[in-house]
Amino acid sequence: MTDADLIGAWLDGDLRLDDLRDRMGLSGVQIRRVRLAAAEAAAAELGRLAVEAEALAEFGRSTDDLVEATRRRDED
């Protein structure tokens, strides 16, 4: 397995952090950096998902407005 594969397995929960350290030969400082990078990536992904959720909510509101306008037009 490549280092990227090992880190991916750790992120997926298939590899314990201690095993990652041992298999990659990482020091304590390097493990902290890997954990920090993973946390930063997770935070960025959560931010992206929040923006996507807001865009979908806005689309839903726009769709609701269109449906309401069509309903009012049909009633007239």
Residue 75: pLDDT band (50, 70, 90) is: confident
Mean predicted confidence (pLDDT) in 8-23: 92
Among candidate residues 15, 69, 72, the one with its CA nearest the CA of residue 3:
15
Q: What is the mean pLDDT of the chain?
A: 90
pTM > 0.75: yes or no: no
Domain ranges of the chain: 3-75
Contact 11, 42 (CB under 8 A): no
The span from the CA of 30 to the CA of 35, in Å, is 9
**Does position 25 have pLDDT exceeding 80, yes or no?**
yes
